[in-house]
Amino acid sequence: MENECLKLQICDAIQRNSYYMHDFYDFDGSAFKIINEKDAPHKTMLCFTCRGAQTILDNGGQQLLEDKYAEFCLGDTHEGFEVVLTLDPATKPQKVKAPSGASDEEKAKIKEDNAQVKIKLAELADEVAGRWCRLKSEFMGAPIRKALVSLQEDSKDSYFVEVPYRKDEKYWVKKQETSALFYYNLNFTDPTDIALTRMMCNELKDTKKISTQSITVNYQSKVSLAVDLVAELGLDPEKSKCGLISFTLKKEHIKKNLETACYFLTTFRQYVEFHIRMVKLLLHSRMRKRISKFEIVFAKSLREGLHKKIETKTFMRDNRSRKPEEEKTSTSSRMNEEEYTIG
């Protein structure tokens, strides 16, 4: 999942040859810092931190960095950040200044070469930024990837990992000999969001009825401490208002495309939130359409010319439909009809 705003900032930093620093804050305590140091302005660094970063590093995060970002792991560190990626200055094409005694032809040639350098630098910046802006998504899902790769390689290792990746939410990875289980506790506070989340999770649970080859999905809409699994995970019912959902994968589910499964599990929480927003937007848009149609019908039903000028009109209000009790208490109940005038 690419972060386009972050990508633009990275591109800008890489194409500069001067001091640059930009702080970029994301959801749930995630933060980036993009730096071109004063002492080394040609060197661009991306620093990253998130909730549970050390837990992630110890359970697949470091392996992910070595597999996918090896050329950017140059050993740099920055206080307050667990992950630092560095673009080696030697890989950046540099412009050349024309010497003082250069001829017009030499200056024109250098100018032409510098124009090509600028194009190559922009291409390099776009390529590197495209990879770096996916760091958060890939890094936070590293424990998931580790379990899936282990499953694909027929590893018999068994382990259990808890990842506190959000303020009030966690996910758990339970690797077994022939399967991997992934648990998510979802915690929305808005009553509408809670209802929509439960509806969506129940729909996912029913996918087994449609396809026998689908992964196993279990969902508990209400978390109870009496359930053994809840006790094992150490769940707090107050922080699991939308319940607990789990996905069980086996080797046959990932043999064709491990990346698809990894991407879905890593971005599942964003997937749920995105669909909640889209459902609300759809309902709001339908409501606006119905109101607009009603306004059109109402406008057509008005007496001709009334929308331009309110004319004097006399009408009668009939009180005969009022109850006897109301007639006794009302001072105007002696008359069956009252005359009112507008205008």
Do 107 and 157 belong to one domain? no
Do 16 and 53 belong to one domain? yes
Q: What pLDDT was estimated at residue 22? A: 92
Share of the chain above pLDDT 90, in %: 43
Do 155 and 86 belong to one domain? no
CB of 235 within 8 A of CB of 173?
no
Do 113 and 152 belong to one domain? no
Which of 139, 170, 191 finishes a domain?
139
Residue 94 has pLDDT above 80, yes or no: yes
CA separation for the pair 236, 99 (Å, rounded)? 70
Query: Residue 70: which pLDDT band, with cuts at 50, 70 and 90?
Result: very high
pLDDT digits (tens, 9 = 90+) for 172-231: 999 998 899 999 998 888 999 999 999 999 888 887 666 667 788 999 887 776 567 777
CA separation for the pair 213, 182 (Å, rounded)? 18
pLDDT digits (tens, 9 = 90+) for 325-343: 554 454 444 444 444 444 4
Kindly state whether residue 325 falls inside one of the protein's structural domains: yes
pLDDT digits (tens, 9 = 90+) for 234-263: 877 777 788 889 999 998 888 888 889 999
Q: What pLDDT was estimated at residue 325? A: 55
Kindly state whether residue 129 falls inside one of the protein's structural domains: yes
Do 52 and 131 belong to one domain? yes
Do 156 and 123 belong to one domain? no
- Overall average pLDDT of the 80-84 stretch: 95
CATH number for the domain spanning 271: value is 3.30.1460.20
Do 157 and 39 belong to one domain? no
Q: What pLDDT was estimated at residue 315? A: 46
- Overall average pLDDT of the 29-57 stretch: 93
Domains of the chain: total = 3
pLDDT digits (tens, 9 = 90+) for 290-325: 888 888 877 777 555 555 554 555 545 555 555 555
Q: What pLDDT was estimated at residue 337? A: 44
**In which domain, by residue range, is 334 found?**
313-342
- Overall average pLDDT of the 3-26 stretch: 90
Do 126 and 157 belong to one domain? no
- Overall average pLDDT of the 115-141 stretch: 93
